[in-house]
Structure 1
Amino acid sequence: MDTRQFNDDVFQVVELIPTGRVTSYGAIAKALGYGTARMVGHAMGMIDHENKTLPAHRVVNSSGHISPPENSGGKWRIQMLEQEGVAVHNGKVVKFKELFWDPKIEIE
Protein backbone atom coordinates (compact mmCIF):
# COMPACT_ATOMS: atom_id res chain seq x y z
CA MET A 1 0.00 0.00 0.00
CA ASP A 2 1.30 3.44 -0.93
CA THR A 3 1.38 5.55 2.24
CA ARG A 4 1.19 8.84 0.38
CA GLN A 5 -1.88 7.73 -1.55
CA PHE A 6 -3.53 6.47 1.63
CA ASN A 7 -2.86 9.80 3.37
CA ASP A 8 -4.28 11.70 0.40
CA ASP A 9 -7.39 9.50 0.44
CA VAL A 10 -7.84 10.18 4.16
CA PHE A 11 -7.39 13.92 3.62
CA GLN A 12 -10.04 13.90 0.88
CA VAL A 13 -12.56 12.31 3.23
CA VAL A 14 -11.72 14.68 6.09
CA GLU A 15 -12.33 17.66 3.79
CA LEU A 16 -15.92 16.44 3.33
CA ILE A 17 -16.89 16.35 7.02
CA PRO A 18 -19.57 19.01 7.46
CA THR A 19 -19.27 21.78 10.02
CA GLY A 20 -20.81 20.75 13.32
CA ARG A 21 -20.49 17.03 12.61
CA VAL A 22 -17.89 14.43 13.59
CA THR A 23 -16.66 11.08 12.37
CA SER A 24 -14.21 8.50 13.64
CA TYR A 25 -10.84 7.22 12.53
CA GLY A 26 -12.32 3.76 11.99
CA ALA A 27 -15.25 5.08 9.96
CA ILE A 28 -12.82 6.77 7.59
CA ALA A 29 -10.82 3.54 7.16
CA LYS A 30 -14.04 1.59 6.57
CA ALA A 31 -15.25 4.14 4.01
CA LEU A 32 -11.97 3.92 2.12
CA GLY A 33 -12.16 0.14 2.12
CA TYR A 34 -8.59 -0.26 3.25
CA GLY A 35 -6.38 0.67 6.14
CA THR A 36 -7.13 0.77 9.85
CA ALA A 37 -8.19 3.37 12.38
CA ARG A 38 -4.58 3.51 13.57
CA MET A 39 -3.39 4.23 10.02
CA VAL A 40 -5.97 7.01 9.69
CA GLY A 41 -4.71 8.44 12.97
CA HIS A 42 -1.18 8.38 11.63
CA ALA A 43 -2.33 10.14 8.45
CA MET A 44 -4.07 12.76 10.57
CA GLY A 45 -0.78 13.33 12.38
CA MET A 46 0.80 14.10 9.01
CA ILE A 47 -1.52 17.00 8.20
CA ASP A 48 0.93 19.68 9.37
CA HIS A 49 3.85 17.95 7.62
CA GLU A 50 1.83 17.88 4.39
CA ASN A 51 0.90 21.57 4.77
CA LYS A 52 -2.78 20.68 4.77
CA THR A 53 -5.46 22.75 6.44
CA LEU A 54 -8.16 20.25 7.22
CA PRO A 55 -10.86 20.05 9.88
CA ALA A 56 -8.94 17.43 11.86
CA HIS A 57 -10.84 18.43 14.99
CA ARG A 58 -13.92 16.72 13.51
CA VAL A 59 -12.26 13.29 13.68
CA VAL A 60 -12.62 11.58 17.06
CA ASN A 61 -12.29 8.04 18.35
CA SER A 62 -15.06 5.46 18.02
CA SER A 63 -16.61 6.36 21.36
CA GLY A 64 -16.65 10.10 20.63
CA HIS A 65 -13.62 11.04 22.70
CA ILE A 66 -11.21 13.69 21.51
CA SER A 67 -7.85 12.25 20.63
CA PRO A 68 -5.41 13.32 21.88
CA PRO A 69 -7.15 14.21 25.17
CA GLU A 70 -7.38 17.81 26.31
CA ASN A 71 -4.47 17.42 28.73
CA SER A 72 -2.28 16.03 25.92
CA GLY A 73 -2.75 18.81 23.39
CA GLY A 74 -6.36 18.24 22.32
CA LYS A 75 -7.63 21.50 23.81
CA TRP A 76 -7.62 23.24 20.43
CA ARG A 77 -9.80 20.45 19.00
CA ILE A 78 -12.35 20.96 21.74
CA GLN A 79 -12.33 24.72 21.18
CA MET A 80 -12.83 24.30 17.44
CA LEU A 81 -15.71 21.85 17.92
CA GLU A 82 -17.39 24.14 20.44
CA GLN A 83 -17.07 27.07 18.00
CA GLU A 84 -19.02 24.93 15.53
CA GLY A 85 -21.75 24.28 18.10
CA VAL A 86 -20.59 20.79 19.12
CA ALA A 87 -20.78 20.31 22.87
CA VAL A 88 -17.89 18.47 24.50
CA HIS A 89 -17.97 17.23 28.09
CA ASN A 90 -15.00 15.56 29.80
CA GLY A 91 -13.25 15.19 26.47
CA LYS A 92 -16.19 13.46 24.76
CA VAL A 93 -18.56 14.76 22.10
CA VAL A 94 -22.04 15.13 23.61
CA LYS A 95 -24.68 13.57 21.35
CA PHE A 96 -21.94 11.74 19.45
CA LYS A 97 -24.35 9.36 17.74
CA GLU A 98 -26.60 12.20 16.59
CA LEU A 99 -23.68 14.23 15.23
CA PHE A 100 -21.88 11.27 13.69
CA TRP A 101 -21.21 11.67 9.96
CA ASP A 102 -20.75 8.32 8.27
CA PRO A 103 -18.36 8.82 5.35
CA LYS A 104 -19.21 5.39 3.89
CA ILE A 105 -22.81 6.51 3.36
CA GLU A 106 -22.00 10.08 2.41
CA ILE A 107 -19.29 9.44 -0.19
CA GLU A 108 -20.87 6.53 -2.06
Structure 2
Amino acid sequence: MSAKEYLENTAAKLSETEIDDVNTILHFDFGASAYTMQVADGKAELKEGLVGDAECVIKASDDDFVKIATGDMNPMMAMMMGKLKLSNPAAMMKYAKMLGLM
Protein backbone atom coordinates (compact mmCIF):
# COMPACT_ATOMS: atom_id res chain seq x y z
CA MET A 1 0.00 0.00 0.00
CA SER A 2 1.22 3.49 -0.83
CA ALA A 3 0.59 6.65 1.17
CA LYS A 4 -1.78 7.85 -1.58
CA GLU A 5 -3.80 4.62 -1.37
CA TYR A 6 -3.98 4.95 2.40
CA LEU A 7 -5.25 8.53 2.16
CA GLU A 8 -7.76 7.64 -0.58
CA ASN A 9 -9.13 4.78 1.52
CA THR A 10 -9.28 6.97 4.62
CA ALA A 11 -11.14 9.79 2.82
CA ALA A 12 -13.60 7.28 1.32
CA LYS A 13 -14.42 5.54 4.60
CA LEU A 14 -15.00 8.64 6.75
CA SER A 15 -18.69 8.82 7.56
CA GLU A 16 -20.65 12.04 7.56
CA THR A 17 -21.39 11.67 11.28
CA GLU A 18 -17.66 11.32 12.09
CA ILE A 19 -16.72 14.53 10.28
CA ASP A 20 -19.95 16.53 10.40
CA ASP A 21 -18.44 19.30 12.52
CA VAL A 22 -14.94 19.18 10.99
CA ASN A 23 -13.81 21.92 8.62
CA THR A 24 -10.11 21.73 7.78
CA ILE A 25 -7.46 21.34 5.11
CA LEU A 26 -4.47 19.05 5.66
CA HIS A 27 -1.44 18.90 3.37
CA PHE A 28 0.59 15.72 3.01
CA ASP A 29 4.07 16.24 1.56
CA PHE A 30 5.82 12.98 0.67
CA GLY A 31 8.69 14.58 -1.22
CA ALA A 32 8.03 13.31 -4.74
CA SER A 33 4.26 13.61 -4.31
CA ALA A 34 1.88 15.83 -2.35
CA TYR A 35 -1.81 15.66 -1.51
CA THR A 36 -4.48 17.78 0.10
CA MET A 37 -7.29 16.39 2.20
CA GLN A 38 -10.15 18.82 2.53
CA VAL A 39 -12.80 18.01 5.10
CA ALA A 40 -15.94 20.15 5.09
CA ASP A 41 -19.72 19.78 5.15
CA GLY A 42 -19.51 16.13 6.22
CA LYS A 43 -17.31 15.12 3.27
CA ALA A 44 -13.62 14.34 2.91
CA GLU A 45 -11.95 14.87 -0.45
CA LEU A 46 -8.39 13.99 -1.44
CA LYS A 47 -6.77 16.15 -4.12
CA GLU A 48 -3.42 15.95 -5.90
CA GLY A 49 -1.01 18.72 -4.96
CA LEU A 50 -1.12 21.28 -2.17
CA VAL A 51 -4.39 23.20 -2.49
CA GLY A 52 -5.55 25.97 -0.16
CA ASP A 53 -4.28 27.07 3.25
CA ALA A 54 -3.57 24.03 5.40
CA GLU A 55 -4.22 23.88 9.12
CA CYS A 56 -1.40 21.34 9.30
CA VAL A 57 1.31 20.16 6.90
CA ILE A 58 2.48 16.58 7.39
CA LYS A 59 5.90 15.80 5.91
CA ALA A 60 7.33 12.29 5.69
CA SER A 61 8.60 9.86 3.11
CA ASP A 62 5.93 7.73 1.46
CA ASP A 63 7.33 4.58 3.14
CA ASP A 64 7.58 6.13 6.60
CA PHE A 65 4.03 7.48 6.42
CA VAL A 66 2.71 4.02 5.53
CA LYS A 67 4.67 2.52 8.44
CA ILE A 68 3.14 5.10 10.79
CA ALA A 69 -0.36 4.60 9.38
CA THR A 70 -0.18 0.80 9.68
CA GLY A 71 1.28 0.89 13.19
CA ASP A 72 4.74 -0.38 12.23
CA MET A 73 6.34 2.91 13.36
CA ASN A 74 5.46 4.95 16.43
CA PRO A 75 4.49 8.51 15.39
CA MET A 76 6.20 10.11 18.38
CA MET A 77 9.44 8.21 17.69
CA ALA A 78 9.17 9.18 14.02
CA MET A 79 8.92 12.85 15.03
CA MET A 80 11.88 12.58 17.40
CA MET A 81 13.95 10.90 14.67
CA GLY A 82 12.98 13.56 12.13
CA LYS A 83 11.09 11.09 9.93
CA LEU A 84 7.78 12.87 10.52
CA LYS A 85 7.41 16.65 10.59
CA LEU A 86 4.21 18.48 11.51
CA SER A 87 3.68 22.20 11.02
CA ASN A 88 0.98 22.22 13.72
CA PRO A 89 1.21 19.24 16.12
CA ALA A 90 -1.81 20.41 18.17
CA ALA A 91 -4.04 20.38 15.08
CA MET A 92 -2.70 16.98 14.07
CA MET A 93 -3.65 15.58 17.46
CA LYS A 94 -7.26 16.63 16.76
CA TYR A 95 -7.30 14.76 13.45
CA ALA A 96 -5.02 11.77 14.14
CA LYS A 97 -7.91 9.51 15.15
CA MET A 98 -9.99 10.63 12.16
CA LEU A 99 -7.08 9.67 9.88
CA GLY A 100 -6.61 6.31 11.62
CA LEU A 101 -3.17 7.27 12.93
CA MET A 102 -4.08 6.57 16.57
TM-score range, shorter chain: under 0.3
Of Structure 1 and Structure 2, which has the larger fraction of its residues in helix? 1
Of Structure 1 and Structure 2, which has the larger fraction of its residues in strand? 2
Relative contact order: is structure 1 or structure 2 higher (C-alpha 8 Å, sep ≥ 6)? 1
Tell me the TM-score normalised to structure 2 length: 0.27
